Chain A
């Protein structure tokens, strides 16, 4: 018996050793160090950075660029989930229960699902470079070419600071919608068909079917989508860094927290300050997580 217990212990240790060590070294330790580095003036060269307490945090309170970035993340946090979820719910409903009989899918629904999902598979950097070309400000741009051919003025999708943020949001929605169409479709598929049939017999039209039956039954999945999209909105980096003018411009009109952290760390070599920004980003992320857990508690519908 003791031999068996010894063997069991050895087995557990040997299976956990590699993942735990890798995780401690590369994930846990940098995350903990960040909180300490945030209280130093470290610029990467001096071996012993000076401890400066909360100076970095005091300084970031007055950092206009960073607060602009926070504002953009906040706007994305609201707009990205709302827009994406509305569009995806609409399409998922059409594809699954919006058919002519009211409870069946529309013709060609598999084809649409396959096409809609594809952008999700592409690397964000590919999408970023692709849309940089689509948005080109002259006649060679995919969108401005036809506009100028019609005699209209070209739109500075990325070069005009009043448009650039919306272009970023548009690209994020473009890439995300398909994923949530598939997610909501899977959610709809798990709802018994009789629910829809019963509603239809009771005389529910398509619109009341959507709001009275589909949406309440899908509420759990919508919550999951909300959290996922919220995290996506907080973590936005590559689209902004690669696609926009001056990596967050023009005139800081598209910059986000992640971009400012990267810029401070690897552009200005202010590792202490960048880590302080990271701590603030962490607090916002945790805040969002707590808030969404609080708000999303609602009675589950059993079926």
Chain B
């Protein structure tokens, strides 16, 4: 009880600072949600007016005419495959590099981790032509060239390797060796030890880095920007970026706000449910 009184001027100021930043974060989002149910005239009339009627049809237009629905599906397809692929091959490589000494191990590991030092924009032009050339490979080329989701998935996976391997290799090194060795004595194969013993043991690390990759790949913009130039292949970040330039459908501002809302709300829901895991997943890399 005594301590309550100590909320002096300093205490008030600190609370005020926290409240101000909270408002800085929340207000632009609420304002967008508000504008998404206003009419065009109301949006241009005054920034803070309330809508007379709730225009839910803005959302229908955003979904259909602005193709937000299509882009969202594309994003889900690309990110599902790329994150799964990243985790599969990334954890396999990290495990071998962390636990199996062999000649060249160090070199391979360094090669992967060195990728962290290269800015993506150095590889920008050559990468475009590498993927274009992939498209010329007989039979499989049509699936992995430019403007294909599978092609983008492979590139996403490749560019996710440095961080995934760096993080997971460190994680595998901290796990005890005894359980795996015991299983080997009992006749389990290397592969089986990995999938049935080591992967389950590495679960906390796997979850963190999976969240990291899902978010990073969902938010990816520059890779699809150069590799997926066909409108019907676009992912959500491209679709959203394009709306503001109004190339697609003559500056339908009401639908723009609806589209933004459609892109933000799922993230908000997922974030609210998994905020603890997301926070630890994203900061995990920095704390290692």
Specify which chain B residues have a CB less than 8 angstroms from the CB of A122 in the assembled complex: 219, 264, 267
Specify which chain A residues have a CB less than 8 angstroms from the CB of B240 in the assembled complex: 123, 125-126, 129
Known: A178-B25, A275-B125, A278-B121. A12 touches B275 (CB 8 A): no
**Would A22 and B89 count as touching, CB distance under 8 A?**
yes
How far does the alpha carbon of A285 sit from the alpha carbon of B191 in the complex, in Å?
39
**Would B125 and A34 count as touching, CB distance under 8 A?**
yes
Specify which chain A residues have a CB less than 8 angstroms from the CB of B32 in the assembled complex: 130, 133
Tier of interface size on chain B: 35 or more
Query: What is the chain A residue whose CB lies nearest that of B236?
Result: A123
**Would A25 and B158 count as touching, CB distance under 8 A?**
yes
Question: Could you say which of A29, A108, A118 contacts B126, with CB atoms under 8 Å apart?
Answer: A29
Tier of interface size on chain A: 35 or more
Query: What is the chain A residue whose CB lies nearest that of B274?
Result: A121
Query: What is the chain B residue whose CB lies nearest that of A284?
Result: B119
Chain B CB within 10 A, most for which of A123, A130, A139: A123
B162 to chain A, nearest CB (A): 8
Query: What is the chain A residue whose CB lies nearest that of B275?
Result: A114
For window 217-254 of A, CB contacts with B under 8 Å fall at: 221, 224-225, 228, 234-235, 237-238, 241-242
Say yes or no for B202: interface residue by CB 8 A criterion: no
Known: A15-B93, A27-B161. A281 touches B25 (CB 8 A): no
**Would B47 and A141 count as touching, CB distance under 8 A?**
yes
Interface of A is mostly: helix
Say yes or no for A172: interface residue by CB 8 A criterion: no
Stretch at the interface among A50-58, A59-67, A257-265: A257-265
**Would A16 and B267 count as touching, CB distance under 8 A?**
no
Say yes or no for B139: interface residue by CB 8 A criterion: no
**Would A19 and B161 count as touching, CB distance under 8 A?**
yes
Specify which chain A residues have a CB less than 8 angstroms from the CB of B130 in the assembled complex: 25-26, 29-30, 33
Question: Could you say which of A33, A91, A134, A146 contacts B18, with CB atoms under 8 Å apart?
Answer: A91
How far does the alpha carbon of A154 sit from the alpha carbon of B193 in the complex, in Å?
65
Known: A126-B260, A130-B32. A22 touches B157 (CB 8 A): yes
0/1 interface trace, chain A 267-303, chain B, CB 8 Å (1 if under): 0000100110011011001100100000000000000
How far does the alpha carbon of A37 sit from the alpha carbon of B112 in the complex, in Å?
23
A94 to chain B, nearest CB (A): 5
Chain A CB within 10 A, most for which of B89, B131, B161: B89
Say yes or no for B204: interface residue by CB 8 A criterion: no
9 residue pairs of the A-B complex, CB under 8 angstroms, read: A7-B189, A22-B158, A27-B158, A133-B257, A140-B45, A183-B286, A186-B283, A186-B287, A225-B286
Extra contacts, 9 of them, besides A30-B127, A34-B126, A285-B117 (Cβ < 8 A), are: A19-B89, A19-B92, A23-B112, A23-B158, A116-B25, A122-B219, A124-B221, A178-B25, A278-B121
